[in-house]
Structure 1
Amino acid sequence: MDKNSNNYPIILLVYIRIIKARFKYPIYPTPGQKYRLAKVFGCVRVVWNDSLACCQEKYKSGEKKTINPELQKLFITQAKKTENREWLSEVSAIPLQQSLNDLNRRGEGLFAPKKLF
Protein backbone atom coordinates (compact mmCIF):
# COMPACT_ATOMS: atom_id res chain seq x y z
CA MET A 1 0.00 0.00 0.00
CA ASP A 2 1.19 3.46 -0.72
CA LYS A 3 1.04 6.40 1.66
CA ASN A 4 -1.97 8.03 -0.03
CA SER A 5 -4.34 5.12 0.36
CA ASN A 6 -6.59 5.08 3.37
CA ASN A 7 -7.95 2.08 5.16
CA TYR A 8 -11.51 3.32 5.46
CA PRO A 9 -14.27 0.99 4.31
CA ILE A 10 -16.08 1.88 1.14
CA ILE A 11 -19.77 2.46 1.72
CA LEU A 12 -22.02 1.84 -1.22
CA LEU A 13 -25.36 3.60 -1.11
CA VAL A 14 -28.08 1.93 -3.09
CA TYR A 15 -31.40 3.63 -3.64
CA ILE A 16 -34.23 1.31 -4.48
CA ARG A 17 -37.24 2.69 -6.22
CA ILE A 18 -40.47 1.08 -5.16
CA ILE A 19 -42.50 -0.19 -8.07
CA LYS A 20 -46.20 -0.47 -7.55
CA ALA A 21 -47.95 -3.19 -9.45
CA ARG A 22 -51.61 -3.68 -10.09
CA PHE A 23 -53.30 -6.94 -10.87
CA LYS A 24 -56.84 -7.62 -11.96
CA TYR A 25 -58.57 -10.81 -10.88
CA PRO A 26 -62.15 -11.71 -11.69
CA ILE A 27 -64.23 -12.83 -8.73
CA TYR A 28 -67.46 -14.76 -8.79
CA PRO A 29 -69.20 -14.19 -5.45
CA THR A 30 -72.20 -16.19 -4.41
CA PRO A 31 -75.48 -14.30 -3.79
CA GLY A 32 -74.77 -14.28 -0.05
CA GLN A 33 -71.28 -12.89 -0.61
CA LYS A 34 -72.67 -10.24 -2.96
CA TYR A 35 -75.09 -9.18 -0.23
CA ARG A 36 -72.33 -8.91 2.38
CA LEU A 37 -70.03 -7.01 0.00
CA ALA A 38 -72.82 -4.58 -0.85
CA LYS A 39 -73.45 -4.05 2.87
CA VAL A 40 -69.76 -3.30 3.54
CA PHE A 41 -69.46 -0.96 0.55
CA GLY A 42 -72.64 0.85 1.55
CA CYS A 43 -71.42 1.37 5.12
CA VAL A 44 -68.05 2.60 3.86
CA ARG A 45 -69.79 5.07 1.57
CA VAL A 46 -71.95 6.42 4.41
CA VAL A 47 -68.97 6.88 6.75
CA TRP A 48 -66.96 8.55 3.95
CA ASN A 49 -69.80 10.92 3.02
CA ASP A 50 -70.59 11.87 6.63
CA SER A 51 -66.98 12.60 7.49
CA LEU A 52 -66.37 14.45 4.21
CA ALA A 53 -69.36 16.70 4.92
CA CYS A 54 -67.99 17.40 8.42
CA CYS A 55 -64.52 18.23 7.05
CA GLN A 56 -65.99 20.52 4.39
CA GLU A 57 -68.07 22.40 6.98
CA LYS A 58 -65.04 22.87 9.22
CA TYR A 59 -62.94 24.05 6.28
CA LYS A 60 -65.55 26.59 5.16
CA SER A 61 -65.95 27.96 8.68
CA GLY A 62 -62.18 28.22 9.12
CA GLU A 63 -61.99 25.74 11.98
CA LYS A 64 -59.01 23.51 12.62
CA LYS A 65 -58.89 20.27 10.63
CA THR A 66 -60.36 17.28 12.46
CA ILE A 67 -57.80 14.57 13.05
CA ASN A 68 -58.43 10.95 12.14
CA PRO A 69 -58.99 9.53 15.68
CA GLU A 70 -61.67 12.15 16.29
CA LEU A 71 -63.36 11.25 13.00
CA GLN A 72 -63.27 7.55 13.90
CA LYS A 73 -64.79 8.23 17.29
CA LEU A 74 -67.50 10.46 15.87
CA PHE A 75 -68.47 8.61 12.68
CA ILE A 76 -67.82 4.99 13.63
CA THR A 77 -67.85 4.42 17.40
CA GLN A 78 -70.52 6.93 18.37
CA ALA A 79 -72.51 6.49 15.16
CA LYS A 80 -72.93 2.76 15.88
CA LYS A 81 -74.67 3.69 19.14
CA THR A 82 -77.29 5.90 17.48
CA GLU A 83 -80.60 4.62 16.24
CA ASN A 84 -80.06 5.94 12.70
CA ARG A 85 -76.67 4.30 12.24
CA GLU A 86 -76.80 1.18 14.43
CA TRP A 87 -76.57 -0.97 11.28
CA LEU A 88 -72.91 0.11 10.97
CA SER A 89 -72.13 -2.46 13.67
CA GLU A 90 -73.17 -5.27 11.30
CA VAL A 91 -69.90 -4.92 9.36
CA SER A 92 -66.27 -4.99 10.41
CA ALA A 93 -64.83 -1.70 11.63
CA ILE A 94 -61.65 -2.15 9.59
CA PRO A 95 -63.08 -1.09 6.19
CA LEU A 96 -64.78 1.85 7.89
CA GLN A 97 -61.51 2.93 9.50
CA GLN A 98 -59.69 2.52 6.20
CA SER A 99 -62.18 4.79 4.46
CA LEU A 100 -61.38 7.50 7.03
CA ASN A 101 -57.65 6.90 6.51
CA ASP A 102 -58.17 7.33 2.77
CA LEU A 103 -60.20 10.48 3.32
CA ASN A 104 -57.52 11.87 5.62
CA ARG A 105 -54.84 11.16 3.01
CA ARG A 106 -56.99 12.59 0.22
CA GLY A 107 -58.11 15.52 2.37
CA GLU A 108 -54.59 16.86 2.63
CA GLY A 109 -54.85 17.86 -1.01
CA LEU A 110 -58.55 18.72 -1.00
CA PHE A 111 -58.49 21.39 1.65
CA ALA A 112 -54.99 22.77 1.20
CA PRO A 113 -54.62 26.21 -0.38
CA LYS A 114 -53.91 26.03 -4.09
CA LYS A 115 -50.37 26.86 -5.14
CA LEU A 116 -49.89 28.92 -8.25
CA PHE A 117 -46.55 27.37 -9.14
Structure 2
Amino acid sequence: MKGLAHFAILSDGRKVDSPRFLRRAEKKLKKAQRELSRRQKGSRNPEKVRLKVARAHAQVADARREFHHQLSTELIRENQAIGVEDLAVKALARTRPAKSVHDAGWSQFVAMLEYKAERYGRTLVKIGRFMPTSRTCSVCDTVDGPKPLNAREWPCPACGSVLDRDVNSARNVKKAAGLAVSACGVQVGPGVTPAQRDEAGSHGFTPGSPAA
Protein backbone atom coordinates (compact mmCIF):
# COMPACT_ATOMS: atom_id res chain seq x y z
CA MET A 1 0.00 0.00 0.00
CA LYS A 2 1.20 3.52 -0.75
CA GLY A 3 -1.00 5.62 1.50
CA LEU A 4 -4.10 7.42 0.28
CA ALA A 5 -4.50 8.23 -3.39
CA HIS A 6 -7.23 10.81 -2.67
CA PHE A 7 -8.57 12.65 0.35
CA ALA A 8 -12.17 12.16 -0.74
CA ILE A 9 -14.37 11.16 -3.65
CA LEU A 10 -17.66 12.90 -4.47
CA SER A 11 -20.72 11.40 -6.13
CA ASP A 12 -20.29 13.60 -9.22
CA GLY A 13 -17.01 11.82 -9.93
CA ARG A 14 -14.74 14.51 -8.53
CA LYS A 15 -11.69 13.15 -6.72
CA VAL A 16 -10.09 15.49 -4.19
CA ASP A 17 -6.34 14.96 -4.04
CA SER A 18 -4.82 14.14 -0.68
CA PRO A 19 -2.58 17.10 0.33
CA ARG A 20 -0.40 14.83 2.51
CA PHE A 21 0.66 17.69 4.76
CA LEU A 22 2.51 15.50 7.24
CA ARG A 23 4.33 13.47 4.61
CA ARG A 24 5.48 16.62 2.81
CA ALA A 25 6.86 18.03 6.06
CA GLU A 26 8.50 14.79 7.23
CA LYS A 27 12.02 15.72 6.13
CA LYS A 28 11.88 19.04 7.99
CA LEU A 29 10.35 17.39 11.07
CA LYS A 30 12.88 14.57 11.18
CA LYS A 31 15.76 17.02 10.93
CA ALA A 32 14.40 19.12 13.80
CA GLN A 33 13.71 16.04 15.94
CA ARG A 34 17.19 14.65 15.33
CA GLU A 35 18.64 17.98 16.38
CA LEU A 36 16.52 17.92 19.52
CA SER A 37 17.58 14.36 20.42
CA ARG A 38 21.25 15.35 20.15
CA ARG A 39 20.82 18.15 22.66
CA GLN A 40 21.45 16.69 26.09
CA LYS A 41 19.61 17.96 29.12
CA GLY A 42 21.28 21.11 30.34
CA SER A 43 23.06 21.77 27.04
CA ARG A 44 22.87 25.07 25.19
CA ASN A 45 19.51 26.17 23.77
CA PRO A 46 17.51 22.91 24.01
CA GLU A 47 14.35 24.99 24.41
CA LYS A 48 14.99 26.74 21.10
CA VAL A 49 15.10 23.39 19.31
CA ARG A 50 11.92 22.20 21.07
CA LEU A 51 10.17 25.34 19.85
CA LYS A 52 11.36 24.64 16.31
CA VAL A 53 9.86 21.12 16.43
CA ALA A 54 6.61 22.46 17.92
CA ARG A 55 6.36 25.15 15.22
CA ALA A 56 6.87 22.57 12.46
CA HIS A 57 4.06 20.41 13.84
CA ALA A 58 1.82 23.47 14.27
CA GLN A 59 2.38 24.47 10.63
CA VAL A 60 1.23 21.00 9.49
CA ALA A 61 -1.87 21.19 11.70
CA ASP A 62 -2.70 24.72 10.51
CA ALA A 63 -2.35 23.77 6.83
CA ARG A 64 -4.57 20.71 7.33
CA ARG A 65 -7.20 22.75 9.20
CA GLU A 66 -7.27 25.41 6.46
CA PHE A 67 -7.74 22.72 3.80
CA HIS A 68 -10.59 21.18 5.80
CA HIS A 69 -12.24 24.59 6.24
CA GLN A 70 -12.09 25.44 2.54
CA LEU A 71 -13.43 22.10 1.30
CA SER A 72 -16.16 21.77 3.96
CA THR A 73 -17.35 25.34 3.29
CA GLU A 74 -17.46 24.66 -0.45
CA LEU A 75 -19.54 21.50 0.03
CA ILE A 76 -21.93 23.10 2.51
CA ARG A 77 -22.48 26.22 0.40
CA GLU A 78 -23.15 24.26 -2.80
CA ASN A 79 -25.42 21.48 -1.46
CA GLN A 80 -28.62 21.27 0.54
CA ALA A 81 -27.85 17.73 1.73
CA ILE A 82 -24.63 15.75 2.11
CA GLY A 83 -24.18 12.06 2.79
CA VAL A 84 -20.93 10.82 4.32
CA GLU A 85 -19.67 7.30 4.82
CA ASP A 86 -19.15 6.63 8.51
CA LEU A 87 -15.90 4.66 8.42
CA ALA A 88 -14.12 3.11 11.40
CA VAL A 89 -11.30 5.64 11.38
CA LYS A 90 -9.78 4.34 14.63
CA ALA A 91 -9.55 0.85 13.14
CA LEU A 92 -8.02 2.20 9.93
CA ALA A 93 -5.45 4.06 12.02
CA ARG A 94 -4.15 0.67 13.16
CA THR A 95 -3.56 -0.58 9.60
CA ARG A 96 -0.53 -0.18 7.34
CA PRO A 97 -1.60 3.21 5.90
CA ALA A 98 -2.11 4.52 9.46
CA LYS A 99 0.15 7.53 8.91
CA SER A 100 -1.86 8.59 5.86
CA VAL A 101 -5.12 8.13 7.77
CA HIS A 102 -3.90 10.40 10.57
CA ASP A 103 -2.56 12.88 8.03
CA ALA A 104 -5.94 13.11 6.24
CA GLY A 105 -7.80 14.00 9.44
CA TRP A 106 -11.18 12.63 8.28
CA SER A 107 -12.78 12.82 11.71
CA GLN A 108 -11.94 16.50 12.06
CA PHE A 109 -13.22 17.17 8.55
CA VAL A 110 -16.57 15.46 9.18
CA ALA A 111 -16.87 17.38 12.48
CA MET A 112 -16.51 20.62 10.48
CA LEU A 113 -19.21 19.46 8.05
CA GLU A 114 -21.50 18.74 11.00
CA TYR A 115 -21.31 22.14 12.65
CA LYS A 116 -21.41 24.00 9.33
CA ALA A 117 -24.45 21.98 8.22
CA GLU A 118 -26.21 23.03 11.40
CA ARG A 119 -25.15 26.64 11.02
CA TYR A 120 -26.32 26.97 7.41
CA GLY A 121 -29.44 24.81 7.66
CA ARG A 122 -28.13 21.88 5.65
CA THR A 123 -28.80 18.18 6.16
CA LEU A 124 -25.89 15.86 6.90
CA VAL A 125 -26.55 12.11 6.87
CA LYS A 126 -24.03 9.49 8.01
CA ILE A 127 -24.26 6.15 6.22
CA GLY A 128 -23.50 3.05 8.29
CA ARG A 129 -20.04 1.58 7.82
CA PHE A 130 -21.46 -1.92 7.16
CA MET A 131 -23.47 -0.89 4.11
CA PRO A 132 -21.83 -2.49 1.02
CA THR A 133 -21.43 0.81 -0.84
CA SER A 134 -18.46 -0.30 -2.92
CA ARG A 135 -20.00 -3.71 -3.80
CA THR A 136 -23.42 -2.38 -4.84
CA CYS A 137 -23.84 -1.23 -8.44
CA SER A 138 -24.95 2.41 -8.31
CA VAL A 139 -26.71 1.93 -11.67
CA CYS A 140 -28.85 -1.20 -11.10
CA ASP A 141 -28.41 -1.84 -7.33
CA THR A 142 -27.01 -5.35 -7.81
CA VAL A 143 -24.79 -6.41 -4.89
CA ASP A 144 -21.69 -8.25 -6.05
CA GLY A 145 -19.13 -10.18 -4.03
CA PRO A 146 -16.24 -8.58 -2.11
CA LYS A 147 -13.35 -7.19 -4.13
CA PRO A 148 -9.64 -7.06 -3.23
CA LEU A 149 -8.26 -3.61 -2.45
CA ASN A 150 -6.27 -3.49 -5.69
CA ALA A 151 -9.48 -3.89 -7.75
CA ARG A 152 -10.21 -0.26 -8.61
CA GLU A 153 -12.61 -0.81 -11.54
CA TRP A 154 -14.83 -3.66 -12.74
CA PRO A 155 -17.95 -4.33 -14.83
CA CYS A 156 -21.25 -4.95 -13.04
CA PRO A 157 -22.17 -8.63 -13.62
CA ALA A 158 -25.85 -7.69 -14.03
CA CYS A 159 -25.98 -4.55 -16.19
CA GLY A 160 -22.42 -4.36 -17.52
CA SER A 161 -21.76 -0.82 -16.25
CA VAL A 162 -18.07 -0.19 -15.63
CA LEU A 163 -17.77 0.84 -11.97
CA ASP A 164 -15.01 2.93 -10.44
CA ARG A 165 -14.67 1.59 -6.89
CA ASP A 166 -14.63 4.95 -5.10
CA VAL A 167 -17.00 6.91 -7.35
CA ASN A 168 -19.48 4.03 -7.25
CA SER A 169 -19.29 4.01 -3.44
CA ALA A 170 -19.84 7.79 -3.27
CA ARG A 171 -22.90 7.53 -5.51
CA ASN A 172 -24.36 4.82 -3.29
CA VAL A 173 -23.73 7.00 -0.24
CA LYS A 174 -25.66 9.82 -1.93
CA LYS A 175 -28.52 7.44 -2.81
CA ALA A 176 -28.69 6.03 0.73
CA ALA A 177 -28.59 9.53 2.23
CA GLY A 178 -31.51 10.59 0.00
CA LEU A 179 -33.57 7.60 1.13
CA ALA A 180 -32.77 8.33 4.78
CA VAL A 181 -33.84 11.96 4.42
CA SER A 182 -37.10 10.95 2.72
CA ALA A 183 -37.86 8.24 5.29
CA CYS A 184 -37.25 10.53 8.27
CA GLY A 185 -38.99 13.51 6.72
CA VAL A 186 -35.98 15.71 7.45
CA GLN A 187 -36.53 19.27 6.31
CA VAL A 188 -33.66 21.34 5.00
CA GLY A 189 -33.63 24.68 6.71
CA PRO A 190 -33.24 28.04 4.94
CA GLY A 191 -29.46 28.46 4.97
CA VAL A 192 -27.75 31.80 5.21
CA THR A 193 -26.17 31.05 1.81
CA PRO A 194 -28.66 28.65 0.18
CA ALA A 195 -27.64 26.51 -2.78
CA GLN A 196 -29.24 27.66 -6.03
CA ARG A 197 -31.82 25.42 -7.70
CA ASP A 198 -29.57 24.83 -10.70
CA GLU A 199 -26.75 23.63 -8.47
CA ALA A 200 -26.39 20.05 -7.29
CA GLY A 201 -28.94 19.56 -4.54
CA SER A 202 -27.06 16.84 -2.70
CA HIS A 203 -23.75 15.04 -2.65
CA GLY A 204 -22.43 11.69 -1.54
CA PHE A 205 -19.00 11.82 0.02
CA THR A 206 -16.64 8.99 0.82
CA PRO A 207 -13.09 9.18 2.20
CA GLY A 208 -10.32 8.21 -0.18
CA SER A 209 -9.37 4.54 -0.22
CA PRO A 210 -5.83 3.33 0.47
CA ALA A 211 -3.85 3.00 -2.73
CA ALA A 212 -2.74 -0.55 -3.50
Q: Do both share a fold (TM > 0.5)? A: no
Higher RCO, 1 or 2 (CA under 8 Å, sep at least 6)? 2
Flag the structure with higher strand content: 2
TM-score of the superposed pair, with normalisation by structure 1: 0.40
TM-score, with structure 2 as normaliser:
0.24
